[in-house]
Chains A and B, each alone.
Chain A
Amino acid sequence: MRHRVLVVDDEEVVLGAVSTALRHDDLQIETSQSAGEALELLGRHSYDLVITDLMMPGIDGLELLQRIRDARGGTRAIMITGYPTIRTALMAKRLGASEYVTKPFTQQELRSVVVRVLRQAPENTDANERSSTPRATRLTYQIPGHSWLAIDSAKVVTVGMTAQFAASLGVIEGLGMPRVGTVVEQGRVCLTIRAKDGIEHSLHSPASGRVLEVNDAVIRDPGIAEREPEGAGWLLRLQPAYLDRELQRLMPIDPQIP
């Protein structure tokens, strides 16, 4: 079944760029240059995915998300943003966006997110967060449905991808890890994951800091990350820079009580 996708952006060139990037995927793409028109279309038709710009005149992207969620649960959404800040990303996520993509994007970057989001079950987002986020084994903080961090000590945190994220990747073939010593930032791409279908996915870091260690076991056997993404399949150890402040922007997940 062809997924029906609605792309919303006030600039035609971006609409064209999105359509072009996704032209080889089996998608039925429609475009709209305003949130008002998009809402009209959403009222008349059923879409599997809405890709919307954040900054638009009139009704902006966040408001559009809000209205989509209020009107009809289960429509998945991807936010396109020029400012890749965790704050807008998290806001978007709370309002029902599954993921966000930073402009300007490569075909690969957009396609990987679209593919991943469409693989996720089209459930009500609120419930989605609860049901499809497997309970962690220890207290973690998450970018919901994306990445997690666990506090080992005041100076070390462990970072990995959530089970939901891992499930949407398919078979993992390899990992593009950062070098030890480099600095990563919260909400920015910290590593890439290559899936067997050839799509390279980006993981946004849940915290800022310096990379202390990468999980060599996962590099040798990426299957570990696929099977135990919230345990032995951890990806990085960071020396966090602004942990107290950054934790406030993440969602705490209680440890699973056996």
Chain B
Amino acid sequence: MELTLWTAVVMTAILGGYAWFSLRLQRSWMLEEVRRGLLLASDTLNNGLRYGMQENRPEEILASIQRVARETHIHRIRIIGHGGQHILSTSGEEKGERLNPGSPGCIICHSSAGTVTPASALGASALTVLDGNTLRAFKPVPSEPGCFTGGCHAQDVRCGVLGLIELSLDLDVVEESMARRERQLGALALAASIIGGCALWFALSRRFRKPLRELLAGIRRISAGDLEYRIPLRRRDELGEVAESFNSMGGQLAAAQRGLIQSERLISMGKLAAGVAHEINNPLTGILSYGEALLEDTDPTDPRHKGCEIVVRESLRCREIVRKLLDFARQKPSERANVRPEDLIQRSIDVIVRTADFRNIRVEQSVEEDLPQLHVDPVQIQQVLLNLLVNAQQAMPQGGTISVQAARSDGGRRVVFAVKDQGIGIPEEIRTRVFEPFFTTKEGKSSGLGLAVCLGIVQQHGGSIEVESGVGKGTTFRVSLPVAEAPGNSAD
């Protein structure tokens, strides 16, 4: 918004400045034109009046100059004698007055220093003077042979100049015309500013303001914590790039936050669980021990015997849960080595493929050739793969095919393992919860720690784990791990 405003202001200033300078220039051009016109008129008048003057017909001359004055907007034409005395004037009232010796008309020949320019050197000299709001032109009238034959200028023969024709033009007419032009140009500039400003506002708004607002809205939403928000801006220009980078940043932030929340939850739940597990040990010791004693002491036919059996069995189950919890909470330092991804897969498959649960399961392997080595704890990563394989098997109680894949990703910087089953799939509402500690759909058969442990291990290796699933379509778990920094020896 501010950008648009500033652009409009600058545009108006440029247009206004242009108009102002243009007017000034026009005024000076106009003044020059008027001056030239006035001089031309004085020349024309001088020539036109010659006959009347030689014939000494002042009424005719006066009528001529009055007609000229009327037709040309010259508000006063005077004929002045050599001595400065007014001979004829269109306004008439100054008759008998004299010009001062220093008056502009006199200094054409008579300089202030006293020198006199002879008439022969004057040529077509004339003078214009801006006197207040009046432009005055003085045209010396040179003497000619005909002038002396009459009685008028017999005494003026020694001097080549008989007098002056003075034309006075009131510049109000010019000013009025200029003012009209100013008004027109000003209106034009204003109109141009408004139209240009609107066009500019519209163009900028379409091109920048709207996308910028969307960017801003996106930034606000993300800073308010909505990291999943994506700016719906599809453009090929820089703004499109900004939006794309922004969306990608949002995605990375969201992923990082998810990872952080997951691992924080793992850690805090682990700590809590360890604390609880530790506190439960002593009471559980009592329950188990006295339960066993009661079981021993009751006759198997006694209905209480069954109850004691349950107490013992469930205490042992509690003990298993507590132990798994402690295992889970224990920070296991990993021992890393460079290993080949295909070896990790092969060893994991070898361990389980001959077990009873995998009787009806076919395991397919598809490993990209020449995969880079991974710098990982082989035992822990095998544990992850094993866990995923067992989960895949459990999703297909009637049997089926498990596909295990490994391929490069992220431009060869990571290797992604995929374990895919044809099982029942995971409903969307619980898909995000499968990595939570103690979350299980196999009530009583699973501690709900398997995938949480996997997540912990993978995160410790700087990797990530994802699940993709559709009900009835099967589930794919993808584990992405960074490759070893430099090629090294295999762990084998």
Q: Which residues of A line the B interface, CB within 8 A? A: 11, 13-14, 16-18, 20-21, 23, 82-83, 103-107, 181, 183, 208-210, 241-242, 244-245
Closest 5 CB pairs of A and B: A17-B289, A13-B286, A104-B285, A181-B351, A241-B379
A23 contact set on B, CB distance < 8 A: 293
Secondary structure of the B contact surface, majority rule:
helix
Of chain A, the residue at the smallest CB distance from B279 is: A82
Are the C-beta atoms of B289 and A16 separated by less than 8 Å?
yes
Q: Contact between B379 and A16 (Cβ–Cβ < 8 Å)?
A: no
Within the complex, which residue of A105, A183, A242 is in contact with B285, where a contact is CB–CB below 8 Å? A105
Contacts of A241 in B (CB 8 A): 335, 379
When each residue 305-326 of chain B gets 1 if its CB lies under 8 Å from chain A and 0 otherwise, what string results?
Answer: 0000000000110010010001
Inter-chain contact A181/B355, CB cutoff 8 Å: yes
With A17-B286, A17-B290, A23-B293 known as contacts, the answer to whether A106 contacts B316 (CB < 8 A) is yes
Given A105-B288, A210-B351, A241-B379, A13 contacting B326 (CB threshold 8 A): no
In the bound assembly, the distance between CA atoms of A241 and B491 in angstroms comes to 12
Q: How far is the CA of A106 from the CA of B291 in the complex (A)?
A: 10
When chains A and B are docked, how far (Å) is the Cα of A14 from the Cα of B285?
A: 6
Q: Which residues of B contact A (CB under 8 A)?
A: 278, 281-290, 292-293, 315-316, 319, 322, 326, 333, 335, 350-352, 355, 379, 383
Q: In the complex the two chains form, is B290's CB within 8 Å of A20's CB?
A: yes
CB-based nearest B residue for A245:
B335
- Minimum CB–CB distance for A244 against chain B, Å: 8
Q: Which residues of A contact B290 (CB under 8 A)?
A: 16-17, 20
| Minimum Cβ distance to chain A for residue B390 (Å) | 12
Assembly CA distance A216 to B379 (angstroms):
26
Q: Tell whether A103 pairs with B285 under 8 Å between CB atoms, given A181-B351, A181-B352.
A: yes
Chain B: minimal CB distance from A245 (Å): 7
- Residue contacts A-B, CB under 8 angstroms, 24 given: A11-B282, A13-B285, A13-B286, A14-B282, A14-B285, A16-B290, A17-B289, A20-B290, A20-B292, A21-B289, A21-B292, A82-B282, A83-B278, A103-B285, A104-B287, A104-B289, A105-B288, A105-B289, A181-B355, A183-B383, A241-B335, A241-B379, A242-B335, A242-B379
Task: Say how far A228's CB is from chain B's closest CB, in angstroms.
Answer: 30
Hey, which chain A residues are within 8 Å of B335, CB to CB?
241-242, 244-245
Q: In the assembled complex, which residues on chain B have CB atoms less than 8 Å from the CB atom of A210? A: 351, 379
- A18 near B289 with CB under 8 A, answer yes
Shortest Cβ gap from B187 to chain A (Å): 91
Q: Are B292 and A106 in contact (CB under 8 A)?
A: yes
A sample of 17 more A-B contacts (CB under 8 A), given A105-B285, A210-B379, is A14-B282, A16-B289, A17-B290, A20-B290, A21-B289, A21-B292, A21-B293, A23-B293, A82-B281, A83-B326, A103-B281, A104-B284, A104-B315, A104-B322, A105-B288, A106-B289, A244-B335
Tell me the bound Cα distance from A107 to B281 in angstroms.
15
Which residues of the other chain, B, contact A244 by a CB distance below 8 angstroms? 335
Across-interface contacts of A11 in B (CB, < 8 A): 282
Complex interface: chain B residues within 8 A of A208 (CB) = 379
Alpha-carbon gap, A14 to B281, bound state (A): 10
Nearest A residue to B316 via CB reads A106
Q: Give the chain A neighbours of B355 by CB distance below 8 A.
A: 181
How far, in Å, is B351 (CB) from chain A's closest CB?
4
Q: Is the CB of A107 within 8 A of B292?
A: yes
**Which residues of chain A come closer than 8 Å to B278, judged between CB atoms?**
82-83
Whether the pair B316, A13 counts as a contact (CB closer than 8 A) is: no
The CA-CA distance from A214 to B358 in the complex, in Å, is 22
Quick one: which of B281, B285, B335 has the most chain A CB within 10 A? B285
- With a 10 A CB-CB cut-off, give which of A18, A82, A105, A245 has the most chain B CB atoms: A82
Query: Taking the nearest CB of chain B, how far is it from the CB of A186, in angstroms?
Result: 11
Cβ contact within 8 Å between B282 and A20: no
Shortest CB–CB separation between residue B273 and chain A, in angstroms? 14
Question: Are B286 and A16 in contact, with the CB atoms below 8 A?
Answer: yes
Query: Which residues does chain A contribute within 8 Å of B319, judged by CB atoms?
Result: 104
Q: B293 near A104 (CB under 8 angstroms)?
A: no
Nearest residue in A to B354 (C-beta to C-beta)?
A181
Chain A nearest Cβ from B270, distance in angstroms: 14
Residue ID in chain B nearest A21 by CB atoms: B289
Question: Given the complex, which residues of B lie within 8 Å of A20, measured CB to CB?
Answer: 289-290, 292-293
Contacts of A21 in B (CB 8 A): 289, 292-293
Which residues from chain A contact B379 at a C-beta distance below 8 Å?
Answer: 183, 208-210, 241-242
Closest B residue to A209 by beta carbon equals: B379
Contacts of B286 in A (CB 8 A): 13-14, 16-17
Which of chain A's residues have a CB closer than 8 A to the CB of B283? 13
Q: How far is the CA of A18 from the CA of B282 in the complex (A)?
A: 11
Distance between B185 CB and nearest chain A CB, rounded to angstroms? 91
In the bound complex, residues from chain A placing their C-beta under 8 Å from that of B284 are 103-104
Among B289, B292, B316: residue with most chain A CB under 10 A: B289
Q: Cβ of B326: which chain A residues have Cβ within 8 Å of it? A: 83
CB closest residue in chain B, given A185? B327
Q: Which residues of A contact B293 (CB under 8 A)?
A: 20-21, 23, 107
Nearest-neighbour CB distance to chain B for A168, whole angstroms, equals 23
User: Roughly how many angstroms separate A21 CA and B294 CA in the complex, as a whole number?
Assistant: 11
Looking at the assembled complex, report how far the CB atom of A250 sits from the nearest CB atom of chain B, in whole angstroms: 16
Contact A104 to B351, CB < 8 A, known contacts A13-B286, A21-B292: no
Nearest B residue to A179 via CB reads: B355
